[in-house]
Chains A and B, each alone.
Chain A
Amino acid sequence: MSWLKGWVTPGDLRAAGVLGMNERNYGYILKENKRRNFKNVDDKLITKQLAHRFGVSSPGFIGLISCQYEIRKFEELVAGRNEFVIKPTRGSGGRGIVVIKGRSDSGGYIGSNGKVVPLSYIREHLSNILSGLYSLGGAPDKALIEECVEFTDAFDGFSYQGVPDVRIIVFRGYPVMAMMRLSTAASGGRANLHQGAVGVGISLSSGRARRAVMNGRIVEKHPDTGRDLCKELVVPRWREHLNIAAGGYEMTGLGYFGADIVLDRKRGPMLLELNARPGLAIQIANGEGLGRRLERLKSGISGLELSPAERVDFSLKLFSSD
């Protein structure tokens, strides 16, 4: 029966409070979220507008290009700015995102990797975004131009190339579990766990790393930079991260989502995007099942309407031991 090694029984998983894919889809994404609320997170423009209305900090809005003839207005929109980001409003997985870090002498721009990006390239890129090259199923899309996040250097040496972001799962407005995603050389500088990025479970109560996982295996140090992940990694201004995540509930009306939050050097934590179908790998990063925490919340929360900060307090008390 040696092939059975490395397998556990459903009873084991249930006892460990692990949330499975079917239960996530059926019991949370379908049951907790109204269908009409999905657009609030699937369209980054709507998310941004909502964040603005609810006073949730997110990268500043610069402009929107929604049809081909508006591409001419692009230079006008970014006039006087050296740093900005272009992204498709309905993109995913980082596709179609161009980060501009400066202007070149030849009238073009400089990308995040230091290479020159000619204006003609940007025009073509905008046109591609509008025709749906990066949107799901090729549907026509819009191009969002927003301010660039000046990433904090608190995480220097913890990430290879890309910038780390924090993912927090929120249930009925209460933070449930958190992790940080660190890109690696193997993940090509991208922060997706299935591509080989490092996932670090973050303690809800302290913002400290609990443990780090890469490709499903526990790692102590970052594979490229060698920094100790568990002992040294602490997220500054952690409480603000939690408040932003919890505020996503009022913004979107979704009962179950994941909030992606980045830390700006000056402006602090900012909401980058919300995700209605957050993955389950966060459990592996934390070494703990989501299911049990969700159950504890379900039976613990009262019907009272609380503010985001009050809900964070509640979660912190409930999950103070992690």
Chain B
Amino acid sequence: MNRLKKLFTVRRVLMLLLIISVIFAAVSIKRKVEVWGFTFDPGSVTRVWTLEARIDFEADDDLVRASLAVPVSSPGFQIESVPAVSDGYSFALEKDTGTNGTGRAIWSSFTEREDDQRLFYRLLVYDAPGVALAEKADGAVLARVDLSESQRAAAESLLERVKNRGGDIPSGVLKELNSSTPGAEVELLLPGRKSAEALCRTAGQVLSLAGIPSRTSIGLQLEDQRNFLMPELRLEAVVDGEWHIYDPNSGENGLRRGFLLFRRGGESLLDLEGGHDGRVRFSASNSAVGSFALSPRRVLGERLDESLFHYSLYSLPLNEQAAFRWLSIIPLSILIVVVLRNMVGLQTMGTFAPILLALALVETGLLAGLILFAVIIALGLGLRNGLSRLNLLLVPRIAAVVIAVILIMEIVAVLSVRFGFGSGSASAAFPIIIMAWIIERAAIIVEEDGIRNALRQMFMTLAVTLAVYFIVSNVYVRHIMYVFNELNICIMILVMLIGTYSGYRLTELRRFRELVK
């Protein structure tokens, strides 16, 4: 029984809780970073692309049905489609038409249409576009080989060379076809201009000979300085049972950052019924949005069942979050004060005064704040000195000091604007009641223990305030303490643990030095 008791001392239990809370915080933070897209850097921004597809075509005086291949969702990046309203057309988005992550946007006209028609489709895209999930290539079929006898021989000898060289076959084939000093085989297989389309088609034939299924895909390379984007082709081939994507112009495997796949596999980009001469033009613009501000949209965009998010602080409207931003920095401030008081041994006037003062300093700026603080306290003490002769009772006396502090703040505000030192409302940032208490405490200490003791305590209070200020004023700390508020649980337990600390305070190492022989 006693041994059990020893095992479960308060300190040990708190230690255990601390470890648990740290683990919890780590897991929770990891999730917030990976799923919700929170960052440690308050300045981190995400580029949000607005992608616009403009479809122009000539209607055949008939009911029109236009269908555009569009990306719907893809792991690794976020896509939001903006409802596309076009006059005279109904709009629908069809997802999961068989190919991974792409769908079709479909417009149907209500009545017969003639002449030039124009339709728009808009998308918002953000978060590292260009990472495509490997897609299982079950049931992929070989393209029919459509080559002349001599071309076939050329293709086979080319394949032979690629296979002998080793490595990735599709990539090797594309590299051969793109060679800057093409041999006779390439000339035979690919006469004339090496367009991406031709490259894809020819490479597909060669790969079919090798028993490798292939297909073409279309996508857009998002780039900062380009407004109009040309759809680009990519060759996909089956390697180890999965579709791999290749740049036909280089043979490079994989997608470059910023490449957004529009459609994968055989479907066409645009299907038109009741119209002809269809053209699709893509344009893009981008803007930087704070990564953190984007998180609700990110979570929604992922269409995750993130009920956790909807019950988190971050689902609140931004202006309501502002108050909690301030609150969530207070636990860390308290930790600092507790450490400085109980482990270092500094005496402050009131436990929470340094915290509130530090928060005020953040609002006023350091130097202006310190000057204001000194002015208010000095004037207040002068006034309090007069009051002490009247022998007032405690509550009315403090009430009088509180009112005096308000008046002083107003006077200081007017004067600082008149004479051009900084903003007038700065003095209002100071917590009035706390200021009044500091004045009261200082006055009592002066009366009882002398000015030296009063100055010493005032100095220590300021030192603690500054320590809190330098931590609280750091934008990273503020951001992290708010965005990863599970850290506050760790701080709470840490503070409790310090409550069981019975070792010496730092200042005692000096105070009692003389007792050490």
Chain A contacts to B: CB under 8 angstroms: 6-10, 12-16, 18, 20-23, 25-27, 93, 95, 124, 128, 131-133, 138, 192, 194-196, 216, 283-284, 287-289
Please tell me if the beta carbons of B515 and A289 are within 8 angstroms of each other in the complex.
Answer: yes
Cα A94 to Cα B277 with chains together (Å): 101
Please tell me if the beta carbons of A284 and B514 are within 8 angstroms of each other in the complex.
Answer: yes
One of B279-287, B448-456, B480-488 at the interface: B448-456
Closest 7 CB pairs of A and B: A138-B394, A20-B504, A26-B502, A23-B502, A12-B516, A22-B502, A8-B513
Closest residue of B by beta carbon distance from A25: B502
Interface centre among B391, B450, B509, by most chain A C-beta atoms within 10 angstroms, is B509
List residues of chain B with CB within 8 A of the CB of A26: 500-502
Closest CB in chain A relative to B357 CB, distance in Å: 22
Q: How many A-B residue pairs have CB under 8 A?
A: 90
Please tell me if the beta carbons of B394 and A194 are within 8 angstroms of each other in the complex.
Answer: no
Please tell me if the beta carbons of B515 and A21 are within 8 angstroms of each other in the complex.
Answer: no
Chain B contacts to A: CB under 8 angstroms: 342, 345, 391, 393-395, 448-450, 453, 500-505, 508-517
Please tell me if the beta carbons of B391 and A128 are within 8 angstroms of each other in the complex.
Answer: yes
List residues of chain A with CB within 8 A of the CB of B448: 93, 95, 195
Please tell me if the beta carbons of B393 and A8 are within 8 angstroms of each other in the complex.
Answer: no
List residues of chain A with CB within 8 A of the CB of B500: 26
Closest residue of A by beta carbon distance from B512: A18
Which of B394, B395, B508 lies in contact with A13, CB distance below 8 A? B508
Please tell me if the beta carbons of A131 and B516 are within 8 angstroms of each other in the complex.
Answer: no
Please tell me if the beta carbons of A22 and B501 are within 8 angstroms of each other in the complex.
Answer: yes
Please tell me if the beta carbons of A20 and B513 are within 8 angstroms of each other in the complex.
Answer: no
Given contacts A133-B394, A195-B448, A289-B515, contact A23 B503 (CB under 8 A): yes
Ordered by A's residue number, 13 sampled pairs between the chains whose C-beta atoms are within 8 Å are A6-B513, A9-B509, A10-B504, A13-B512, A18-B512, A20-B502, A21-B508, A23-B504, A128-B393, A138-B393, A138-B395, A287-B515, A288-B515
List residues of chain A with CB within 8 A of the CB of B449: 192, 194-195
Cα A27 to Cα B500 with chains together (Å): 9
Closest residue of B by beta carbon distance from A139: B394
Cα A95 to Cα B448 with chains together (Å): 9
Closest residue of A by beta carbon distance from B500: A26
List residues of chain A with CB within 8 A of the CB of B512: 8, 13, 16, 18, 20, 283-284, 289
Cα A197 to Cα B391 with chains together (Å): 27
Closest CB in chain B relative to A278 CB, distance in Å: 16
With A13-B509, A16-B517, A93-B448 already in contact, 11 other A-B pairs whose C-beta atoms are closer than 8 Å: A10-B504, A18-B504, A18-B508, A18-B512, A22-B502, A124-B391, A128-B391, A138-B393, A138-B395, A283-B515, A284-B514
Interface centre among A14, A21, A195, by most chain B C-beta atoms within 10 angstroms, is A21
Interface centre among B391, B503, B504, B508, by most chain A C-beta atoms within 10 angstroms, is B504
List residues of chain B with CB within 8 A of the CB of A25: 502
Which of B393, B504, B505, B516 lies in contact with A132, CB distance below 8 A? B393
Cα A196 to Cα B393 with chains together (Å): 29
List residues of chain B with CB within 8 A of the CB of A21: 345, 505, 508
Given contacts A133-B394, A283-B515, contact A194 B505 (CB under 8 A): no
Closest CB in chain A relative to B501 CB, distance in Å: 6
Cα A20 to Cα B394 with chains together (Å): 33
Please tell me if the beta carbons of B393 and A7 are within 8 angstroms of each other in the complex.
Answer: no
Closest residue of A by beta carbon distance from B395: A138
Cα A180 to Cα B28 with chains together (Å): 59
Please tell me if the beta carbons of B502 and A10 are within 8 angstroms of each other in the complex.
Answer: no
Cα A15 to Cα B516 with chains together (Å): 8
Cα A138 to Cα B440 with chains together (Å): 13
Closest CB in chain B relative to A139 CB, distance in Å: 9
Given contacts A8-B509, A10-B504, A23-B502, contact A16 B515 (CB under 8 A): yes
List residues of chain B with CB within 8 A of the CB of A20: 502-505, 508, 512
List residues of chain A with CB within 8 A of the CB of B501: 22, 26
Please tell me if the beta carbons of A8 and B516 are within 8 angstroms of each other in the complex.
Answer: yes
Which of B393, B509, B514 lies in contact with A10, CB distance below 8 A? B509
Cα A8 to Cα B506 with chains together (Å): 10
List residues of chain A with CB within 8 A of the CB of B504: 10, 13-14, 18, 20, 22-23
Closest residue of B by beta carbon distance from A9: B509
Closest residue of B by beta carbon distance from A289: B515
Closest CB in chain A relative to B398 CB, distance in Å: 8
Closest CB in chain B relative to A264 CB, distance in Å: 27
Please tell me if the beta carbons of B513 and A22 are within 8 angstroms of each other in the complex.
Answer: no
Cα A76 to Cα B46 with chains together (Å): 84
Closest residue of B by beta carbon distance from A281: B511
Please tell me if the beta carbons of B342 and A22 are within 8 angstroms of each other in the complex.
Answer: yes
List residues of chain B with CB within 8 A of the CB of A132: 393-394
Please tell me if the beta carbons of A10 and B510 are within 8 angstroms of each other in the complex.
Answer: no
Closest residue of A by beta carbon distance from B448: A93
Closest residue of A by beta carbon distance from B450: A195
List residues of chain A with CB within 8 A of the CB of B509: 7-10, 13
List residues of chain A with CB within 8 A of the CB of B342: 22
List residues of chain A with CB within 8 A of the CB of B453: 194-195
Cα A93 to Cα B453 with chains together (Å): 15
Closest residue of B by beta carbon distance from A28: B502
Cα A7 to Cα B345 with chains together (Å): 14
Closest residue of A by beta carbon distance from B501: A22
Please tell me if the beta carbons of B513 and A7 are within 8 angstroms of each other in the complex.
Answer: yes
Cα A9 to Cα B513 with chains together (Å): 9
Interface centre among B393, B395, B512, B517, by most chain A C-beta atoms within 10 angstroms, is B512
